Structure 1
Amino acid sequence: MIRIRPLVKYCIIGGAVASTALSLKCNQYEWDSIGIVRFSRAVVTVFNIGVIYKRDLYGRGLNKQSKEYKDLKSVCHKRCANKLLDLCCTNRGVYIKVGQHIAALDYLLPSEYVQTMKVLHSEAPATDVEDIIQVLKEDLKQDPYAIFDSISAEPLGTASLAQVHKAVHKDGSMWAIKVQHPYVQGNSRIDMKTMEYLVKLMSWVFPEFKFQWLVDESKKNIPQELNFVLEGQNAEKIAKLFEKIGWLKIPKIRWDLTTPRVLTMEFVEGGQVNDLKYIQSNDIDACEVSDKLGKLYAEMIFIHGFVHSDPHPGNILVQKNQSGGCNIVLLDHGLYANLSDEFRINYANLWLSILDRDRKSMRLYSKKLGIEGDAYGLFACMVTGRTWDTILKGIDRHTISKNEKDFMRQNFTGILPQISSVLENVNRQMLLILKTNDLMRGIEHTLRTGARMGAFRVMSQCCVHSVYNQKYQKCKNSIDRIKITLAEFWALLKIKIYYTFLNLRHISGI
């Protein structure tokens, strides 16, 4: 239960520390960027959220098992989520990035928070085009209209750290210019420090909840995402890794018009991956979209260890190709997970043990990923997005039902301390993978393609390739190589037979 007076005292102390430690002004664009103003706004929001729960929920003395309490709790969650959304939209920048991360935590937070914050994936606040032009002038060292005939006044899309405008070059070619919001660089250090104070405040009020992992990951990832030169390099690296896949499109980078705050890339048309109306009107098979995305991300994770870690719908486009199928266009390459070989192999073995329903191996590989003891069961549920009962029955045999989703939503939020403990202890590389998994499941849910069998087949094949590739590297003679080749062939053949059988059962309705 929240104690209001200590909370007020802590907020005052935190504000005093912050006002001393943080600079008063971050950049030349707007007075709202004064660090103490942003910090105070965040503290007031957190305090008001605490008051809502203290006064309007816990203060009523209701039975926590009663319907009245549960309905009231949902109302309070929604009110508090809206306050948090208002804070993100007002402070913008890093706050929106964190809000987007919250929107991906289906397994961790109440649905009222997740659904409220999802609007930030597609409707982040935009910066006035005059300020965008100013950034272009500063970074390109000349008037942008000396380079481009036109720059669209309305952005093609707006994200937490930047927005994209369509531009026509003097030579007639079309480009998409990603321009960083002018206030982001200066505010990011202040915002991260504010987040750290607020997380300490939450840990003090709710000692059973551990959110330091969120601060640590944000402090590590935000500087990378603010460097658009690194984003361009990531785009070229992933294009090179998948150059043999004709249906994957990565916009080409124009390096002479790219700086740390400006990224000029090939303009590519298409519809958002979650736009069912676009997909249907263009005669695109939603299952094909899901299958290609599944193959793409399985190879990223288990084969290459270089994973695009922000696959929310605004960053993935689909388009009809000339052969009648569809292309996948991958945008926003600012955040990638670089997986070590050891992590990649352990994670592949964990998935194989889950698919095999091998509890002993699940425990073993969960331990190798940082999860000790019986928490391996909860960890497996977080990785798969399924209940433990379904995992034991076989997640590849049973499609997720509405009842299972409702059960997870109601029960996962009731064990938040255990989940936050898992996130605090798990291998740091796993955090971006969990976020990626959740976003991919969200896309499948929107496309209504979660019942297909091909996803697990492709994942199993990639896991097997990953495990046996490591064994090849340790070979010392040709006889061992032949043995491993035969073993891998047999493992892949069993997968093919098994999933062919499951598919036949699914078709026949058995």
Structure 2
Amino acid sequence: MITRSARQTFKFPVKAAKSSLYLITAAGAATIASQNLGPPLFPISLSDDSTPLTSSSFSDSVRAGLGGIARSSRAIWTIASSVVDYKYSLHGLSQDSEEYRRVLSEVNLRSAKRILQLCEANKGFYVKAGQFVTALQRIPKEYSATLSSLQDQVFLSFDEHPIAAASIAQVHRAVLRDHQEVAVKVQYPGLKQQLKVDVATMSFLSKSVAWFFPEYRFGWLVSEFAEAIALELDFCREARNAEKTAKNFKSNMVIRIPYVFWELTTSQVLTMEFCKGSKVDDLEHMREMGINPIKVAKAVMEVFAEMIFVHGFLHGDPHPGNILVSPEGPHGFCLVLLDHGIYKELDQGFRQDYCELWKAMILLDSNKILQLGENFGVGKYSRYFPLIFTGRTIGSKSNLGRGMSAEEKQNLKQELKSLKMEDISSFMESLPPDFLTILRTDGLLRSLLSKLGASQRVRLLAYAKYALYGLSHNSNPESDNKVMMVVSRSRVSLSYFRLRFFLEVLDVLSLTEQVIRSFVKRFKQALLSAGYLVGNLLPVPTYR
């Protein structure tokens, strides 16, 4: 019997408690998963029309049920034994003493050995649970050293030091028993609960700001962020996103998606093929490998343009750390796309309208732009679409990617003076959710092109090309007749070349106009200079 005073003075070691908590959680999840994946304990229907249960299926059900009870009992006994060991072994010892630290290390080792025996006896999901705990950096060294042997059942080697660490997970490099190199992404514990608290705080703050300053409304931003992060925390969804993207680009040798090892993947642990490469903005490495950064920029833009306009399935976080350049592939390199947690599946109607919008912006069809603005629900603000995406005003006469004239800049400056924060808030609130993802992705791509030294014209032409492809694209291309697909693609290619020719002609005309203006200006200056000289050389007549 433990006395009241003993219960008051004893403190369970926090670090060890966390380790036990991780294992209890993982083991509990493993038990539930094994029960859900296995047959029900007594799958007997009591209705009159039920199919008779065979003796074989009944015995299998009983065996599965008894096995589940044995596994659960073994887990409960192991954890209970460890808790009792900690409680009595450390009782009465001062946490600041050397003896406490020595005894704690001994108890950690005994507990780790018990858990190792549990995982080896129960196998299956318990081994996964042990591997998950081992990958965490917040456990005592006795646990990580003892449980590391579980990695040997799956991994030939496992680097406990992460090769990458982000806000929600860290990535470890490992080698499977068949010598396949893999990247193991392990999510930090407790993030889902932390997310709820943080989002509630952000929502409260955004509402508070809107209450004091009604024209500053950021609720749309909090909602979009919360939705994106909640999806990113599910590693099984991330794995499915990766597989879908790989399927979409199966015929494209320029892009590579790491293979998913489903048998080593859960909602919080993702195991994928390890792909080598350098970050897409590492210009020095590209020069060493003889890779042209402008060609890389074009490849990146074409991949993401195809995602947006053709597939309608968009990677929403294309920052440089998520795109690698590997010195392999048909053109001397290929792109490796990582981190498939944040994706947006575009509505098909929205995708078609967005294709139409880009076609209209390229051709400066102001009436079509305003009409599509009604479809998107932004009304009068659609006049700013060309400015946002192409850097031209809706009534611009300048060519694609060439910026605005001085006169257009002056007119725009005057127009923007009339806009208030209320207009910006109303515009952002009225945008469809799909549009917000595209705006964010497009912003990241613009920044990346700038780092690679490519002009924005590369981006604009890629969007123009795939907008045309998207307009002819069937949402289920696998069901199309192959001949019709070839014919359709040929027509789109012809339309694109016509559009490209049209843009080049405009460039030539614009250049010609500039040359003529420059010539006329210089000719006038020459005439004025000649008149000045003549006036000074001729004698001035005098009148008497």
Q: Please classify the TM superposition score into its range, dividing by the shorter chain length.
A: 0.5 to 0.7
1:463 matched to 2:459? The reply is: no
**What SS class does the counterpart of residue 175 from structure 1 fall into?**
strand
Code of the aligned partner of 1:321: E
1:491-502 equivalent positions in 2, closer than 5 A: 491-499=495-503, 501=505
**Aligned counterparts, 1:247-396, within 5 A:** 247-321=254-328, 323-373=330-380, 375-384=381-390, 386=391, 388=393, 392-396=397-401
Please tell me whether residue 434 in structure 1 is matched to residue 448 in structure 2: no
| Bigger relative contact order (CA 8 A; separation at least 6) | 1
RMSD: 4.0
Deviations 1:443-476 (A, max 9, x none): 001111025x444333222212222346999xxx
By how many angstroms is 1:291 displaced?
A: 0.8
* Amino acid paired to 2:168: L
Distance 2:474 2:182 in 1: 42
Paired letter, 2:206: V
Q: Does the 8 Å contact 1:302/1:463 carry over to 2? A: yes
Instruction: Specify the alignment match of 2:449 in structure 1.
Output: 444
CA–CA separation in structure 2 for the residues paired with 1:283 and 1:390: 43
**Where do residues 87-486 of structure 1 align in structure 2 (5 Å cutoff)?**
130-131=137-138, 143-321=150-328, 323-373=330-380, 375-384=381-390, 386=391, 388=393, 392-398=397-403, 416-451=421-456, 453-469=457-473
- Separation (CA, whole Å) in 1 of partners of 2:387 and 2:425: 14
For 1:228 and 1:351, locate their aligned partners in 2 and report how far apart those are by CA, in whole Å: 34
Superposed displacement of residue 149, structure 1: 4.0
Letter of the 1:331 partner, please give it: L
1:234-277 per-residue CA deviation (whole Å, 9 max, x = no partner) reads: 10000001100011110001111100000001111111111122
SS in 2 for 1:131: coil
| Aligned-residue offset at 1:131 | 3.2
Q: Secondary structure at the match of 1:366?
A: helix
Q: What letter matches 1:377 in structure 2?
A: R
Deviation at 1:363, TM superposition (A): 1.1
Q: Residues 200 and 504 from structure 1, CA distance in 2 versus in 1: closer, same or farther, beyond 3 angstroms? A: same
Identity over aligned pairs, percent? 31
Would you say how many aligned residue pairs link Structure 1 and Structure 2?
A: 369
Greater shift after overlay, 323-332 or 492-501? 492-501
Offset of residue 166 of structure 1: 1.1
Bigger shift: 375-384 or 343-352?
A: 375-384
User: CA offsets per residue over residues 109-157 of structure 1, 9 Å max, x none?
Assistant: xxxxxxxxxxxxxxxxxxx9523899x99xx999335433433344222
Distance (whole Å) between structure 2 residues aligned to residue 345 and residue 161 of structure 1: 35
Contact map agreement 1:133 1:144 (CA 8 A) in 2: no
Q: Greater shift after overlay, 248-257 or 363-372? A: 363-372
Distance of 1:132 and 1:241 partners within structure 2: 41
Instruction: Please say if residues 288 and 326 of structure 1, whose CA atoms lie closer than 8 Å, have aligned partners that are also in contact.
Output: no
Query: Quick one: structure 1 residues 165 and 416, their matched pair in 2 at CA, closer, same or farther if it must change by over 3 Å?
Result: farther
How far residue 279 of structure 1 moved from its aligned partner, in angstroms, is 1.7
Shift of 1:378: 2.8
Q: Structure 2 vs 1, CA of residues 379 and 460 (structure 1 numbering), >3 Å: closer, same or farther? A: closer
Mapped partners of 2:257, 2:278: distance in 1: 15
CA contact (8 A) 2:400 2:503 kept: no
TM value normalised by structure 2: 0.60
Aligned AA for 2:231? Q
Code of the residue aligned with 1:381 in structure 2: it is L
Mapped partners of 1:330, 1:369: distance in 2? 30
Question: Which AA in structure 2 matches 1:242?
Answer: F
Q: Distance in 2 between matches of 1:315 and 1:466?
A: 25
- How far apart are the structure 1 equivalents of 2:328 and 2:139? 34
- Per the alignment, in what secondary structure is the counterpart of residue 189 of structure 2? coil
Residue 192 and residue 285 in structure 1: after superposition, are their counterparts in 2 closer, same or farther (change >3 A)?
same
The question of whether the paired residues in 1 share the 8 Å contact of 2:277 and 2:326 is answered with yes
Shift of 1:204: 1.6
Structure 1 position 420, deviation (Å) = 2.7
Q: CA deviation at 1:391?
A: 5.3
> Using a 3 Å threshold, how does the CA distance of structure 1 residues 395 and 133 change in structure 2: closer, same or farther?
farther
Report the CA distance shift for 1:376/1:281 in structure 2 as closer, same or farther (over 3 A). same
Give the SS at the match of 1:165. strand
Change (3 A) 1:162 1:503: farther
Q: 1:399 to 1:172 in 2, by over 3 A?
A: farther
Which ranges of structure 2 fall in alignment gaps of 5 or more residues? 1-16, 20-134, 478-484, 516-544
Q: What amino acid is the match of 1:178?
A: K
Q: Matches of 2:455 and 2:421 in 1, distance apart?
A: 26
Secondary structure of the residue aligned to 1:166 is strand
User: 1:496: Cα distance to partner?
Assistant: 3.8
Report the residue type matching 1:252 in the other structure: Y
Change (3 A) 1:442 1:367: same
Question: d(CA) in 1 for partners of 2:378 and 2:313?
Answer: 23
SS at structure 2 position matched to 1:264: strand
Instruction: Name the larger-Rg structure.
Output: 2
Q: Which segments of 5 or more consecutive residues in structure 1 lack a partner in the other structure?
A: 1-27, 31-127, 474-480
Going from structure 1 to structure 2, the CA distance change for 1:503 and 1:260 (only over 3 Å counts) comes to farther
C-alpha separation in 1, matches of 2:199 and 2:506? 48
